[in-house]
Amino acid sequence: MRVVFLERWKKKATMTDSRIQLTEEDITGIKADAIVNAANNSLLGGGGVDGAIHRAAGPGLLAECRGLSGCPTGEARITKGYNLPATWVIHTVGPIWRGGTQGEPELLARCYRSCFSLVQELGLRTIAFPAISTGVYGYPKEEAARIAIKETRRALAENENLASIIFVCFNNDTRLAYKKALAEP
């Protein structure tokens, strides 16, 4: 009985991982049902991936964001993609790294859960994520990747509708951090 369970679990783990992809490119060029934006609490744009997404989407995105009245850290909001190849943009606000003792891991995990909850609500199948919080917000890449992979595996196990989760690595360090996290059980 235990063996059967273990075999099933192993099969599920492989199946879920086959739906996770790593890529090194600009997220604004990705044609997915949704791309995720690493935003700030105002949702009114900024630097990094946020700036790139707003530039590529055009002014319609900022206009829609103005109507959202911001977003607390760990939560997520969804808008249309405007001039982006992606249909939707999910804006989430990651924690600023303050040494790891201010609830950062839980807040970062909550970002992924909030995104996956919207994804499930809207029945989306392909989602691209940047490495939330690991740029200006200073979250250590390996720890952030471990959280991203853990929450993604959980979402894939719970939502059979998900076809592909793409982690967009903007540099080699980020790609290596995800590869390491994926190699862990």
Q: Which residues are catalytic?
A: 50
Q: Closest approach of Cβ 54 to ligand AR6, in Å? A: 9
Among 20, 27, 71, 177, binds ligand AR6 (CB under 6 A): 27
170 forms part of the interface with ligand AR6 (CB under 6 A): yes
Q: Mask: binding to ligand AR6, 29-48, rule CB under 6 A, as x and -?
A: ---------xxx-----xxx
52 forms part of the interface with ligand AR6 (CB under 6 A): yes
Between 50 and 104, CB nearer to ligand AR6: 50
Angle at 64 between CA 41 and CA 133, to 5 degrees: 30
**Which range binds ligand AR6 by CB under 6 A, 15-23, 132-140, 156-164, 176-184?**
132-140
Q: Closest approach of Cβ 156 to ligand AR6, in Å? A: 21
Which residues 58-87 are close enough to bind ligand AR6 by CB under 6 A? none
Phi-psi sector, 70: left (phi>0), alpha (psi -120 to 50), beta? left
124 forms part of the interface with ligand AR6 (CB under 6 A): no
Task: Name the residue type at position 113.
Answer: R
132 forms part of the interface with ligand AR6 (CB under 6 A): yes
DSSP tag of 101: -
Partners of 164 in beta bridges: 126
Report which of 100, 109, 120 is spatially closest to residue 92, judged by C-alpha positions.
109
Among 33, 50, 143, 151, binds ligand AR6 (CB under 6 A): 50
